[in-house]
Structure 1
């Protein structure tokens, strides 16, 4: 709710919170101070033993010390400010009583009691929690002291001195100490409270921010009684970006504040209202789904009455009811999914979570399992039919079909295909997870008729379905009912919302227990990233089709080979999708891709077709690569060989004692030469490098790392390979130069100079298009 409220309406609450907070801070300090006072009292008891004359029994005085100690032990257990104050008053009175007992029989009791009557109130002043406690405790202290400590007859000047100490020093000092510390504690509390409010408040609307909302919601869900009703409402202002873009952020901010006011006015004081971020708001309320829907509809109407420069504001709402054991984030995710359906179905409406329509789904599963073995069968779903199309996947090394991806299609009564945008469009009255489960039953039933015994079936599965409780067991049962084995099924997790990486990782282990293999679809697009792969650990990764056409910056060299190598090192097989041309097939083979899929190898069809002559097409790709590799190697060697020859000549000149400039004078004139250099046995540069013609092309040098003399290079392959083959000029693979940020290659040679081994080399600019690259990994 709104966290900023008028001061007069919350003074009592603020004072109570301040005193309780002070109690937490003062309790340990008071315990230590009062314990020290008990020790001081025991010291006085011990000192009294050195004074002659009649005295109260020692057991009485030690018993009084025990009373004081018990009051000290009560301080940590004080749960309220009243109890804390009462213990303080009791302690001060008990202390005065103990002092009176200790000085009984002395000829000059004032010498013992006057310092205590001055010091004790001053030391106790900062410890009193409230001014009331202070005045009551101090008044009772002095009254008791005067009553119990009259002492022996005194002269007038002694009385004047005594009251001067008490009235002129003790009382004013204790007042200053108490109110000074009280003010300090209060200012600290107000600052702490203000910072806490700022940390939990959205500054524009005054509502809770996301962090405070989630923390409060988690506490509320933890406290909700068994069977208690809690619902979440998620809402988003429609077309808010256009409001900012067309009329400025000032108009957008005003709209956000107006919506916040509508939400506050329309909800109860016990409801939590938050601006989650941007134009999104969330409400948590103690209502069932029906009550939350009624509130959402009222709020929708109220927001629709807010004017904007080009009409009226509208908002879309998603509503979900809390389920037992569910976290706040899962609840909000379900409400967010309902909100997305409201957006897709036209905006300015309320959509709720929908219970899974178990009856239609179970009916379709029964129908599909009963029809298992009938190829191309279709099954009724809403006002159309569901059927399967299959697209083959080929092992490039084996040059044969190894599996088929099942693709869902919708057919009308006349056999016409339903457009995918209609088939997969979110519907307010349906949960897309239900369609996902229905598709699995349809695909398994249709694949059973013609799936080869050694073939895989790739089933697409939404993350939300994949992590659903109990679905691993349910899917395994359906697979076995249609006559297949889970080992033949690869579950292909789609790029979609609906499950955290941690949940998918845990779910993957459950599916693997049944024998399913796991694949991740569209790696390289959307939310797919390397962290997701490493945590889920799929058996197969399907690369987004665009990756096959991606090239490195500044070159036309494909990045696919390196990406495939990375995934192989992580223990995952690779499928490349979208292979549509012979050139793309050749690149897939050359990149060591395991499996390929695309229109060039086979289009989706209602029947699982024989591979035909596709294996010959793949075989031709291998032949092209084999021939091209030899040609590429020869071409690369022909370009690099003059540099090798010149480098060997430079090495001979250096051995003969010629200076670096003269030894490299020929090599440094070659067109692609960036620089010539010498590295010592530890990989550090000896002397200055000799620049070549390509040095002048340095445009955007990476200045902090542009000086190679500060670095050590013995970890680079061009250094290690040269050391392994001393005397042989080695050409490296292209690498990204730290000095220039351009692709370069290095030609290096390890040679012995006097008593030290060195590596001499030349760096060549390899960024120009059309240059041959080495035909090896």
Structure 2
């Protein structure tokens, strides 16, 4: 709420009369591709020599008369689109994130003032425009007809200042936007907190579940940028990426920052990949040797073989044998890396049906052995992977399958 509403209205009226709006752009970057995805346009009220004369809190205040808000909206839209034209002519695939005041379109009398009509006159490729709505406004009321019309016309939708709250997620899954920007307060301190990093990673998964690309906004430091990327927010924007070249203090410019972050992120990914590869290599050999024992021992001793396995191998989460249809034949043995309570959460007793699990998509299609990552493990609160391998015994016409789930991280000795 502005302190002096009358003064604010007078200042904004002057801006509207003079069309005194200047447009600034902030890049939205991809740390994976080392490129610029697009720009968010910020409008500022200025005088004839470019000095800011109206604070943004006044220019975009919800306390302004609705008619004034609509005039500000149309002025800013037109100014942003005009200034973006030269960028669009040179870079056809660059996206303009165009802020929209949802409140003014939630009234029937303003329905004909759709931002779609303003943009249409500029003849931009619709896929190069992302209309950006403030989540807090949509939590009160969503102009669904307008948003669906924009989506059906090929325009992109972006949600700004998102928080992972019940009201916010209601908006996300009703609209299913192209982009969702995570507000800084949600991730602040991510570079110093493991639990914050896990929270942000969960947010990225939720946003992707809605079919959106996650973007972190308000990034201020290199540590934040790297931690956000590790948590699934490869798309970012913020003060940290302000490009002032290389100043006298030796601060890295925009391009150097992006290259360094990409290199650091790739370095961490390579380390994690190599660790996972080595762990997989170990358990691949373990699965082969276990199958040899299962083939050599009497079929009635398969539980004994699996008990020896989980006792010896610290990284085993669970181990069991099923038949070719997915029916569980053995006990499901829980290793030191697993929690036996997990057996109560999922089918784990002899006779249980596992034929619907992902690995049977491949095993039923002719593959003899497959490996993958578990979407969710009832036995472990960390990353896990599995190896599923067919093996055969002379007395059985159909094969059996050994399924090993193992921790995708080095296990320290207790």
TM-score, normalised to structure 2, is: 0.70
**3-state SS of the aligned residue for 1:651?**
helix
In the alignment, structure 1 segments of 5+ residues that lack a partner are 1-340, 346-356, 369-376, 379-386, 605-611, 771-777
1:473 Cα offset (Å):
4.0
Gaps of 5+ in 2: 4-8, 89-93, 245-251
- The whole-number CA distance in structure 1 between the counterparts of 2:195 and 2:329 is 33
Render the CA deviation track for 1:243-271: whole Å, top value 9, x for unaligned: xxxxxxxxxxxxxxxxxxxxxxxxxxxxx
Taking a change above 3 Å as real, the CA distance of residues 614 and 506 of structure 1, as seen in their structure-2 partners, is same
Determine helix, strand or coil for the equivalent of 1:716: coil
Aligned to 1:716: 357
Query: Within the alignment, does 1:522 sit opposite 2:165 as a pair?
Result: no
Counterpart residue number, 1:231: none
Name the residue aligned to 1:459.
98
Pairwise mapping of residues 655-670 of structure 1 onto structure 2 (< 5 A)? 655-658=295-298, 659-668=301-310, 669-670=312-313
Residue 599 to residue 561, structure 1, CA distance change in 2 (3 Å): same
- Distance in 2, matches of 1:514 and 1:693, equals 55
Corresponding residue to 1:558 among 182, 186, 201:
201
- Report the Cα offset of residue 477 of structure 1: 9.4
The verdict on how the C-alpha distance between 1:406 and 1:709 changes in structure 2, with shifts beyond 3 A counting, is: farther
Residue 678 of structure 1: how far off its partner (Å)? 0.6
Give the distance between the partners of 1:535 and 1:556, measured in 2 at CA: 22
Q: Using the alignment, how far apart are the partners of 2:329 and 2:120 within structure 1?
A: 74
1:492 and 1:591 mapped to 2: Cα distance? 23
Question: Which structure has the larger Rg over C-alpha atoms?
Answer: 1
* Aligned residue pair count: 384
In 2 relative to 1, CA 727–583 (structure 1 residues): closer, same or farther, beyond 3 Å?
Answer: farther
Per-residue CA deviation, residues 131-162 of structure 1 (Å, 9 max, x unaligned), is xxxxxxxxxxxxxxxxxxxxxxxxxxxxxxxx
- What is the CA RMSD across the aligned residues, in angstroms? 4.8
Aligned to 1:751: 391
Other structure's SS at 1:693 match: coil
Q: Counterparts of 2:50 and 2:196 in 1: how far apart (Å)?
A: 51
Query: Structure 1 pair 466/392, CA: closer, same or farther in 2 (3 Å)?
Result: farther
Kindly indicate whether residue 325 of structure 2 is the aligned counterpart of residue 682 of structure 1.
Answer: yes
Distance in 2, matches of 1:513 and 1:639, equals 47
Q: Deviations over 1:213-258 (max 9, x none)?
A: xxxxxxxxxxxxxxxxxxxxxxxxxxxxxxxxxxxxxxxxxxxxxx
Pair 1:507 & 2:146 matched: yes
1:367 paired to 2:8: no
**Matches of 2:200 and 2:116, distance apart in 1:** 47
Richer in strand (by share): 2
Report matched runs for 1:201-280 at 5 Å.
none
After TM superposition, the score normalised by the length of structure 1 is 0.41
Change (3 A) 1:622 1:506: same
Counterpart of 1:542? Answer: 181
| Residue in structure 1 matched with residue 405 of structure 2 by the alignment | 763
Residues 388 and 406, structure 1, Cα contact 8 Å, conserved in 2: yes
1:448 aligns with 2:76: no
Take 2:95 and 2:324, find their aligned partners in 1: how far apart are those partners? 54
CA distance in 2, matches of 1:511, 1:481: 11
- The structure, 1 or 2, with the larger RCO (C-alpha pairs under 8 Å, 6+ apart) is 2
1:546-571 Cα offsets, whole Å, 9 max, x none, are 3695978997993366346434xx3x
Matched residue SS, 2:143: helix
Answer yes or no: is 1:738 the counterpart of 2:366: no
State whether residues 718 and 748 of structure 1, in contact with CA within 8 Å, keep that contact through their aligned partners in structure 2: yes
SS in 2 for 1:636: helix
Which whole-Å CA distance do the structure 2 matches of 1:645 and 1:363 have between them? Answer: 76
Kindly state the Cα deviation for residue 508 of structure 1 after the two structures are TM-superposed: 1.9
Alpha-carbon distance in structure 2 between the residues aligned to 1:511 and 1:471: 16
**Superposition deviation, residue 642 in structure 1:** 3.0
